[in-house]
Amino acid sequence: MQTNQTGSLWVVATPIGHRDDMSARAIDTLRNVAVIAAEDTRHSRPLMIQHNIGTPLVALHEHNEREAVAALIRRLEQGESVALISDAGTPLISDPGFRLVRAAREAGIRCIPVPGACAAIAALSVAGLPSDRFVFEGFLPPKSAARRTRLEELAADPRTLIFYESSHRIVESLTDMRDVFGAQREAVLARELTKMFETVLGEPLSELVARVVSDPNQQRGECVILVAGRGEETDAKLAEGQRVFALLREELPPAKAAKLAAAITGAPRKLLYGDKGDG
Ligand code: SAM
């Protein structure tokens, strides 16, 4: 039956590990919409079976987004309700869906969140780092030069920093963080949240790097890295770093003096001798 009313787009969070982290409202919504747009239909099928959800699934991923979004908007405009899910956690959070939600809102379609698991927020809730202000940075660039540039842009940020990282780059990324933010900056590695091997390690970056390098188990699974923002403690280190840098510069090239001063005091090297051109 054709109606004059548009349907609604329900943006539904699914578990990030523990199968029971699926809300009653999420199950109810997925049972009652006309169609579910899923990042990977094969991946989502077991979750549907587990919760007796018989609604048809269609694929919405980065390779078919343009056509899939247009087709879903047509269905919404014809009055059908659509749910959006991703492989895990909250759609759009380092996952597909932005273009669909954007197009739906532009078409005047109501978008309704059905909140639930999100690895970044789950990690922040147990990290013991300040949570009043934080910044979600998603995935860092895979190549070291671009990654370091991004980290350098964040070195003076006072807010808690949250990153997603794949396990095979965990050592490289933590090492870059130690070098850019300073050995003493507090960090937390939250791994395999809600799963059997859930681990939350909180240490200064130098100790965290050493522990992860020496224990291959810490290089497995899914992980979130959180880093304390630059704080008063960092400011004190910076003052000490600047003092040591000034002394060493009398005898050494500035880049080398900055590297040594950073290693000695734990002050971020970038803040001692940021732009390679000056000094
Ligand atoms: N949409 C998801 C969310 O709401 O968290 C994130 C999807 S993103 C493609 C996948 C990344 O999220 C992983 O590489 C990892 O960094 C993080 N992640 C997902 N599940 C996790 C878990 N159970 N424990 C730790 N990190 C997790």
Mark whether 78 and 148 lie in a shared domain.
no
Instruction: Give the pLDDT score at 194.
Output: 98
Domain that holds residue 206: 120-230
pLDDT in tens, the chain (279 residues): 444 588 999 999 999 999 999 999 999 999 999 999 999 999 999 999 999 999 999 999 989 999 999 999 999 999 999 999 999 999 999 999 999 999 999 999 999 999 999 999 999 999 999 999 999 999 999 999 999 999 999 999 999 999 999 999 999 999 999 999 999 899 999 999 999 999 999 999 999 999 999 999 999 999 999 999 998 766 778 889 999 999 999 999 999 999 999 889 888 787 788 654 333
Give the CATH number of the domain where residue 77 resides. Answer: 3.40.1010.10
Q: Which of 165, 199, 224, 225 to mutate to test the pocket of ligand 1 (most atoms within 8 A of CB)?
A: 224
Residues 23 and 52 in one domain: yes
pLDDT at 5: 84
Both 60 and 14 in a single domain?
A: yes
Same domain, 86 and 185: no
pLDDT given at position 2: 44
Residues 99 and 17 in one domain: yes
Integer angstrom CA distances of residue 245 from 117, 174, 182, 185, 268: 45, 24, 14, 19, 11
- pLDDT, position 72: 98
Q: How far is residue 250 from each of residues 49, 116, 119, 244, measured CA to CA in Å?
A: 70, 56, 48, 10
Q: What is the pLDDT of residue 95?
A: 96
Question: How many domains does the structure of the chain reveal?
Answer: 3
Regarding the beta carbon of 164 and ligand 1, being less than 6 Å apart is answered yes
Instruction: Output the pTM of the full model.
Output: 0.86
Q: Are residues 174 and 124 in the same domain?
A: yes
Mutation probe of ligand 1 site: the residue of 11, 16, 140, 189 with most atoms within 8 A of C-beta: 16
pLDDT value of position 4 = 57
| Maximum C-alpha span of the chain | 83
Q: Which amino acid is at 145?
A: A
Which of 117, 139, 156 terminates a domain? The answer is 117
Work out which ligand 1 atom sits closest to the CA atom of 194.
23
Q: Would residue 42 count as lying in a domain?
A: yes
Q: How far apart are the CA of 144 and the centre of ligand 1, in A?
A: 21
